[in-house]
Structure 1
Amino acid sequence: MPSSEVPARPSPPATSTWDGSTLTADWSPDALGEGFEARRLDLADDDEGEVTATLVRHLPDPTLRPARAVLYVHGWSDYFFQAPLARFWHAQGAAFYALDLRKYGRSLRDHQTPGYVDDLRTYDEEIGAALDVLRAELGSVARVILMGHSTGGLVLSLWLARHPGVVRGLVLNSPWLELQGSSLARHLSAPAISRLARFTPKAALPNIDPGYYARTIDAATGGDWTVDARWRPTPSFPVRAGWLSAVMVGHAAVARGLGITVPVLTLMSDRTLISARWTEDMRSADIVLDTEAIARRAVQLGPVVTTVRIAGGMHDLTLSARPARERFYAELTRWLVAYGWA
């Protein structure tokens, strides 16, 4: 996959209507190559200084103005690189947009703590700014679906619960809706994590990433994909106390029930495989999250939730081996047809 730097800050930017943030005036060629463009979203500064997010779009034919759009948000220590996913949505007649959140991927700056926020509501700013861009380009009546992977699925679920009536549906790819194991693990660990977050929020917790998940993905180690190691490092970003505390607050909210009113599709692998030793079976299971916990929590997102288990699926189902990947897209298509999207 070709790589490029984030486009330089244009001058002057255009003002957005969302929370005082500003939007850059122009799109620039993106690292993913032909058919992909990126646009910087300038956000309010935080305690580390300048903050930006990056919106990527896939509009192969700029003369068309689709009436439907998808906004995708990535997971932890990740960025958007799943070009086939964008092409799938384009084939469904939808414009595709993806956010690299602040301090991730295209948006990460040298002075920043990678991936760090201490409240998941912080992301409301870039999600809102991205939706402003969608509405400006496609019109206010465009039907929008949100799609999130892993932590991005948690972020979007919480956002949608706070912003009813804005989008038409939610698609979740292995969303992180609960700690591995059960809510008991969260209840036992939350007080200690909360105390640590209060006094040393950016304290790095022990990094337990052995690199196995990266091994299942990278073409150099038997996977099917090429990623930018600057934006998706191995081992992953250090997990910090303030961030983990924010995630656990989000998990607690999901456990209480979110009441999302639009249709939700939650897809996950049919099995979890967590092991301290490498095995080739890791290429056909979720080796990051507990899929049973995901399935239990998914039904608490709202009254209309479809859950699908993908045999042989990896944590990011779009990166799975071809049979599981094809099954993922088939189930997504079936759901879209059922709700009048395809």
Structure 2
Amino acid sequence: MNKNMNPYTPDVLGDDYQQLTLTFPDDYEGKVIATLIRKKATTSTNKAVLYIHGFIDYFFQTEMAEQFNQHGYDFYALDLRKYGRSHLPHQILFNVLDLKEYDAEITEALKIIEEEHHSQVLLAGHSTGGLIATLYAAHYSNHPLIKALWANSPFYDFNMNVFKKTFGIPLLSQVGRYLPKAKFPSGLNKWYVPSLHKNFHGEWFFDLNWKLPSMKKVQLSFVRAIHIAQKEIHRGVKLTIPALIMHSNQTKNPRTWGKKATQSDVILGVKDIEKYARKIKGDVTTQTIQHGLHDLVLSAEPIRNQVYQQLFDWLKIKMP
């Protein structure tokens, strides 16, 4: 893809944010696009970050982009196919049969980032994006641009009891092979988005059509795609680049609104993240953030400041 033939246009986030539509061959639903969002640092740099969002999500974390700019990185983010800016009317939101479908947009984004005069890239991802980024780094271990990985509360396991994880998820995954559009209760905590959005109890503004307030059911195609990817993580992947894996110090599942929803990961099990991070072979650093939310960069200001301090301290050493 030639960026001059496909120029950036202004992004919904406003000043200094631009977006580029990436086009791909049709899939099982028809036309497919992804969206690359860019915010350049004020001074020229050969360093960049490519950020991948989580499930039921899109890129809106402007403070994170600005932090990277201030530390000498051009910032790029992907809205994956069927998410946010990239969702088309004929598509089922977030629909995927295999997480490898996203390799196409990650590869294309990296190609564009290289064309835009960068030689070092931090691959970053949150939640499902952290799972996708980890596997991409493992599968493309010789990629010349990717120099480090940052996973923010990566989705390395389902947050369920042992019985459901051992028997329930594999069964749903098998059913999902034949009935991908069948739906199953998501089990997602209802207080997560209200803990973030200004209209409820949070301090952030984002589009509630792109990051839904709740999602009571998920398609079995998603369960199957995640299960297959997680099995690879559980066996232990090998990374040839340094990795920083961050997570909250605690998981809670509050039934009513309260402090637990503002000081915990209410989506994933932090012990699972820690467990499977230890199985990754290579130079892996795991850091625990006290009272962090599921998306650590959306935590209360003192906590997210700590996240950035620890992240950029680590990058000074690993990606100088």
Give TM class, smaller chain. Answer: over 0.9
- Structure 2 match to 1:37: 18
- Structure 2 match to 1:159: 136
- Within a 5 Å distance, the mapping from 1:123-202 to structure 2 comes to 123-139=102-118, 142-166=119-143, 167-181=146-160, 185-202=164-181
Q: Which amino acid aligns with 1:78?
A: D
- Structure 2 match to 1:72: 51
- Within a 5 Å distance, the mapping from 1:1-342 to structure 2 comes to 14=1, 25-61=6-42, 64-139=43-118, 142-166=119-143, 167-181=146-160, 185-209=164-188, 211-236=190-215, 238-341=217-320
Distance 2:161 2:254 in 1: 18
Distance 1:189 1:73 in 2: 28
Distance 2:162 2:5 in 1: 42
Distance 1:178 1:24 in 2: 41
Query: For the Cα contact (< 8 Å) 1:81–1:227, is it kept in 2?
Result: yes
Change (3 A) 1:129 1:321: same
Deviations 1:9-56 (A, max 9, x none): xxxxx569xxxxxx9610000011101000000011112110000000
Distance 1:247 1:191 in 2: 11
SS in 1 for 2:66: helix
Q: Which amino acid aligns with 2:16?
A: G
Distance 1:195 1:234 in 2: 29
Query: For the Cα contact (< 8 Å) 1:27–1:38, is it kept in 2?
Result: yes
Distance 1:105 1:241 in 2: 21
Query: For the Cα contact (< 8 Å) 2:47–2:74, is it kept in 1?
Result: yes
Deviations 1:103-129 (A, max 9, x none): 000001111111111111111100011
Q: Which amino acid aligns with 2:61?
A: Q
Distance 1:237 1:135 in 2: 40
SS in 2 for 1:221: coil
SS in 2 for 1:331: helix
Deviations 1:124-173 (A, max 9, x none): 1000110111011115xx11110000000001111111100221000010
SS in 2 for 1:138: coil
Query: For the Cα contact (< 8 Å) 2:129–2:154, is it kept in 1?
Result: yes
Distance 1:161 1:119 in 2: 16
Deviations 1:278-321 (A, max 9, x none): 32221011000000110111122222111111111000000000
Distance 1:235 1:222 in 2: 15
Q: Cα distance, 1:275 vs. partner?
A: 3.0
Query: For the Cα contact (< 8 Å) 1:103–1:114, is it kept in 2?
Result: yes
Query: For the Cα contact (< 8 Å) 1:182–1:293, is it kept in 2?
Result: no
- Cα RMSD of the aligned pairs, angstroms, is 1.8
Stretches of structure 2 lacking an aligned partner (at least 5 in a row) = none
Which of 70-79 and 329-338 deviates more?
329-338
Distance 1:58 1:234 in 2: 27
Count of residues in correspondence between the two structures:
318
Change (3 A) 1:307 1:47: same
SS in 2 for 1:295: helix
Q: Cα distance, 1:183 vs. partner?
A: 6.5
Query: For the Cα contact (< 8 Å) 2:11–2:37, is it kept in 1?
Result: yes
Distance 2:180 2:256 in 1: 31
Q: Cα distance, 1:60 vs. partner?
A: 4.9
SS in 1 for 2:100: helix
Distance 2:204 2:14 in 1: 15
Distance 1:298 1:111 in 2: 37
Query: For the Cα contact (< 8 Å) 2:188–2:216, is it kept in 1?
Result: no
Distance 1:70 1:330 in 2: 16
Distance 2:5 2:219 in 1: 31
